[in-house]
Structure 1
Amino acid sequence: MAEDTEHQFWYNMRTGAVEKGLLSPSIDRVGPFSTFDEATHALDKLRANSAKWAEDDAADDR
């Protein structure tokens, strides 16, 4: 069953806008998110994931 991308939210990295559906090119957007609020906080989630991955990599190097 295909995802219903038209009813999901995306964060546009170029404009900083939250979009519903696939409005902008894939290179500019991250997601999908279930809600507008989740998409609004996309950068926070990306930063948190990046920090965790960096910690994991550092632990693996020990």
Structure 2
Amino acid sequence: MSFWYNVDTGQVETDENRSRGEQVLGPYASEAEARAALDTAHKKTEDWDAEDREWNDRGAAGSGGGGDSS
């Protein structure tokens, strides 16, 4: 059975009673994972933002005006 977190209601739902639409996060393997969905999403967003900053920093440091001037 899969579990889903409904961001509108703050409730965990199962496959049997899952809302349809964009307001659910999942699926998760356990009810506990579904309850932690917002924390998990927040952590992943922070990680992705950090990766984006690192990517941008590498690009700015390596840009040096290069290009092929042939």
Same structural fold, with TM-score higher than 0.5 when normalized by the shorter chain = yes
Structure ranking higher in helix proportion? 1
Task: Show the counterpart of 2:42.
Answer: 47
- Post-superposition offset of 1:23: 1.8
Q: Which of residues 14, 24, 33 in structure 2 aligns to 1:29?
A: 24
List gaps (5 residues or longer) in structure 1. 1-6
Q: State the percentage of identical aligned residues.
A: 32
Q: Which of residues 54, 58, 63 in structure 2 aligns to 1:59?
A: 54
Q: CA RMSD in A?
A: 1.0
User: Any runs of at least 4 consecutive aligned residues in structure 1 with deviations exceeding 3 A, and if so which?
Assistant: none
| TM-score for the superposition, normalised by structure 2 | 0.76
Structure number with greater Rg is: 2
